[in-house]
Amino acid sequence: MIKKELTSLNISPIERGTSTGEQWFSAGEILVSTSPVDGNDIGHVCASSREDYERVLNIAFEAKRSWADIPAPRRGEIVRQFGEKLRARKSELGKLVSYEMGKSYQEGLGEVQEMIDICDFAVGQSRQLYGFTMHSERPAHRMYEQYHPLGIVGIISAFNFPVAVWAWNAALALVCGNVIIWKGSEKTPVCTIACQKILAEVLADNELPEGISSICTGGADLGRWMAADPRIDLVSATGSTRMGKEVATMVAARLGKSLLELGGNNAIIVTAHADLKLTVSAAVFGAVGTAGQRCTSTRRLIVHKDIYNKVRAALVDAYTQLKIGNPLESQNHVGPLIDHQAVESYLAALKEIEDEGGHLLTEGGIIQGEGYGSKCYVKPVIAEVANHYRIVQKETFAPILYLIRYEGSLENAVTIQNSVAQGLSSAIMTTNLHEAEYFLSHKGSDCGIANVNIGTSGAEIGGAFGGEKETGGGRESGSDAWKVYMRRQTNTINYSGTMPLAQGITFNL
């Protein structure tokens, strides 16, 4: 279905999944990338062996010093050129993202646009890797802080955003003077290869050495190699909370640095003062966009009893209008889940909802028939539940929206929202200024992202992205997230000709 795009992106039917730039090699097992859109194979990728991984690390280790020696604005120029390459290939890469992952073509284009946006941000940041100057208590001394590159940044990304989250990390890590090693999801390996080839073109055009940007392909074992490897100065991992805990434990055991973007169990609070039209629009897109496979997908809708029935009726009506099918066709709102394992998780969640006493307001199940041959298409579901249900406390990567009624004050709704282990994204729908400000106060949402009158899904490049609690506490993308990719150093310069000590201490020799 996307042969033209694959050719344009220089993707062959059989690809090597290990690269340090222009060099490509692999000696591991063969992975088959199968599209959830139609069940057809996209390509075969030879995964990385342990020997391949060691070769990548050795080359990256050699490259890190020469890359760090290049002035930061010049590194920014390389990232700018990468952004221009992405602009030229936005359509092809966006379609590949859609076809290999299963999100709509518009969402695929949006994901590539995020890559372009973070490149633009990083270019400006390359001239703003600022430190601070402070006054010393000792005469004729100057104190300041500065930031240096870490060295090697390992990036582990997930299938649901197969290119954008890597770019968030890569663009900033590169302008900060680090080299990068990327383990893309084994479920979307062709997207990983396509991105590496585009960036490798830029590096080769500028006669830069191998190892500035590398990829390895594989499963959980590869992630464990990276987490345990003391040569990797920072491991940035995006995925499930279970995976993140394993990565964090292994990195901490060697006193390394980790940046974790993990699970979400995101809620929208709908108060009695909410705008119903805004509420339904935000909730539906948040719940069914990317077939509910975003870390910021809306999982829970916490609705005040006074408007509960209106919201419920409007949501059920909206769900009858959803079109489910091939995400490359623009009339469809919902595409497939990533694979059959995801479908099984969805079906298990539906059973658990009913076992715990929940009520399905819309019919669930797998969609059969012509055009759904991959058997990865499922019906989006609205379920009336109580927040304490075990299934509601979990994150199910599927289009399941939990409808929860609350009574009394906004404090009650916030308590319900915050009583889950995850803390990524949250929102409140209200036209009441007091409610909005309370939600954003220290007494309100405990999430890393808190929105008013927009949904939980989606984020702008300019702000730091990330969450609290079992979401991992990391921050990526905008604001001052660049600092995590650098090491902080405090400097004191004595130009007095004497040796005064701090705190007035004297030490006479």
Active site residues: 261
d(CA 483, CA 134): 19
**Neighbouring C-beta atoms of residue 8, cutoff 10 Å:** 17
Residue 480 has which token pair?
């001052």
Q: How many Cα atoms are found within 13 Å in the side-chain-facing hemisphere of 257?
A: 19
List CB contacts of 103: < 8 A, sequence separation 6 or more: 97, 111, 160, 290, 291, 293, 327, 335
* Rounded-to-integer distance, Cα 458 and Cα 465, Å: 10
Spatial distance between the Cα atoms of 72 and 75, rounded to a whole number of angstroms: 5
Rounded-to-integer distance, Cα 191 and Cα 185, Å: 9
Would you state the structure tokens that stand for residue 87, as one six-digit string? 């602009």
User: How many Cβ atoms are within 10 Å of 17's Cβ, its own excluded?
Assistant: 29
Q: Are 98 and 107 in contact (CB under 8 A)?
A: yes
Tokens encoding 104: 């709509």
Compute the distance between CA of residue 328 and CA of residue 1 in angstroms, rounded to an integer: 10
CA dihedral 460, 464, 466, 467 (to 10 degrees): -110
Calpha distance 212→416 (Å, rounded): 46
What's the order of all strands across the beta sheet hosting 132-135? Answer: 132-135, 141-149, 486-494
In the numeric block, which tokens belong to residue 21? 């730039």
d(CA 196, CA 82): 11
Give dist(CA 509, CA 501) in Å, integer. 13
Coil, strand or helix: which one is 383? strand
Give φ, ψ of 198 to 5 degrees: -65, -45
Handedness of CA 203, 207, 211, 215 (dihedral sign): positive
